[in-house]
């Protein structure tokens, strides 16, 4: 009886924003995804460039030679994104610092899709456990929201090129912040990502060698599969399925697929934790399981915590406290 109630509660949370999510249609916008590409190259050109981006992912997710100068104001840090978009607000990155002392261990937190605020409880909990917590705003969220938008529709959407650019921007912004923190004297850097933020944190962990621990909550390997099968992205699938199938979407979004980089995620010096909700209908548990198996096949042994709840019910005190304690122990080990 309890779990039936829990599943219904999760489904209601999933549908809470459905009235803001409209069905549109497929758009490629290849030039948004791949700098220097032609916008009129067609789907096959998009797939070719996506494959090329995976092959040369160090460049695709790479940084400029010089780090941006960061501005500081009390507990806030801001700097210009090196990927410039048409949304002015989105071009400045802001991160909030919560710390209980002079910790030299920075924890960079990447929030979930459509987050409308940072998580002070999470930040206070991890600062109490000895971290300097930096909650970064991902593209088109929080201070970076697109004026007039009801949700972060430019971060994850039926526009394939815009989605690739947004995730790439989130990764590059995160790596830029990590570089700034290293320059500021932080000796140890870890990342924690939640839901869509876990894809960003995972991509950063795969490409940023100074990250030695990554805790990924509610994650999977294939972003394409998550969108195609997840309850929170039904409108995106409905927008796409008359034009492309799942196999083609996997090709297009291969640069965003954590399974494209399992060898990197299994690199020496990186410890991975995954927190998986066994009743999740947004990121289906089999997507998490498949990623875990691929990483193990590459030679690593991620720490895995299975929780018998749904995607949104992980935020309930019954489950979130256990997950938080597990993550803090892992990150502090």
- In which domain, by residue range, is 86 found? 2-332
Q: Is the pLDDT of residue 28 over 70?
A: yes
- For the chain, the domain total comes to 1
Residue 73 bridge partners (DSSP): 76
- The full DSSP string for 157-194 is SSBHHHHHHHHHHHHHHHHHHHHHHHHTT--EEEEEEE
For the segment 273-307, what is each residue's pLDDT rounded down to a tens digit?
999 999 999 999 999 999 999 999 999 999 999 99
Which of 245, 333, 323, 241 lies closest to 280 in space, CA to CA? Answer: 323
Average pLDDT for the chain? 94
186 vs 102: CA distance, rounded Å: 10
141 vs 256: CA distance, rounded Å: 19
Q: What's the rounded mean pLDDT across residues 182-187?
A: 95
Which of 267, 264, 268, 329 lies closest to 303 in space, CA to CA? Answer: 329
287 vs 229: CA distance, rounded Å: 10
Residue 193 bridge partners (DSSP): 110, 216
The residue ranking higher by pLDDT, 19 or 194, is 194
Contacts 24+ apart (CB under 8 A), 67-70: 67/176, 67/179, 67/180, 67/183, 68/176, 68/180, 70/180
Task: State the CATH number of the domain containing residue 236.
Answer: 3.40.50.1820
For the segment 47-73, what is each residue's pLDDT rounded down to a tens digit?
999 999 999 999 999 998 778 789 998
The residue ranking higher by pLDDT, 40 or 208, is 208
For the segment 255-270, what is each residue's pLDDT rounded down to a tens digit?
999 999 999 999 999 9
pTM of the model as a whole:
0.97
For the segment 308-330, what is each residue's pLDDT rounded down to a tens digit?
999 999 999 999 999 999 999 99
For the segment 211-255, what is each residue's pLDDT rounded down to a tens digit?
999 999 999 999 999 999 999 999 999 999 999 999 999 999 999
Q: Which residue has the tokens 């394939």?
A: 160
CB-hemisphere CA count at 13 Å for 263? 4
Name the phi and psi angles at 290, rounded to 5.
Answer: -65, -40
DSSP, res 65: S
Residue 72 DSSP SS3: strand
């Amino acid at each position: 009886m309890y779990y039936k109630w829990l599943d219904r509660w999760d489904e209601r949370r999933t549908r809470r924003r459905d009235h803001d999510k409209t069905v549109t249609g497929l758009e490629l916008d290849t030039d948004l995804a791949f700098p220097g590409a032609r916008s009129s190259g067609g789907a096959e050109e998009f797939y070719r460039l996506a494959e090329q981006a995976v092959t040369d992912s160090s460049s695709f997710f790479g940084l400029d030679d010089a780090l941006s100068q960061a501005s500081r104001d009390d507990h806030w840090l801001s700097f210009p994104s090196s990927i410039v978009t048409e949304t002015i607000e989105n071009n400045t990155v802001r991160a909030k610092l919560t710390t209980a002392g002079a910790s030299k261990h920075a924890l960079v937190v990447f929030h979930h899709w459509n987050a409308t605020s940072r998580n002070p409880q999470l930040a206070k909990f991890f600062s109490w456990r000895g971290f300097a917590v930096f909650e970064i705003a991902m593209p088109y969220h929080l201070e970076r929201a697109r004026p007039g938008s009801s949700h972060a529709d430019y971060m994850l959407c039926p526009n394939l090129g815009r989605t690739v650019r947004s995730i790439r921007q989130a990764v590059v912004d995160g790596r830029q912040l990590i570089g700034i923190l290293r320059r500021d004297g932080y000796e140890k850097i870890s990342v924690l990502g939640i839901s869509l933020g876990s894809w960003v944190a995972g991509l950063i962990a795969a490409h940023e060698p100074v990250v030695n621990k990554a805790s990924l909550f509610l994650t999977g390997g294939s972003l394409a599969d998550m969108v195609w099968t997840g309850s929170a992205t039904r409108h995106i699938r409905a927008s796409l399925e008359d034009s492309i199938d799942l196999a083609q979407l996997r090709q297009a979004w291969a640069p965003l697929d954590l399974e494209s980089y399992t060898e990197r995620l299994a690199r020496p010096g990186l410890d991975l934790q995954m927190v998986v909700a066994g009743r999740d209908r947004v990121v289906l548990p089999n997507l998490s399981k498949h990623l875990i198996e691929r990483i193990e096949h590459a030679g690593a042994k991620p720490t895995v915590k299975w929780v018998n709840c749904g995607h949104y019910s992980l935020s309930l005190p019954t489950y979130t406290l256990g997950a938080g304690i597990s993550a803090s122990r892992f990150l502090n080990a």
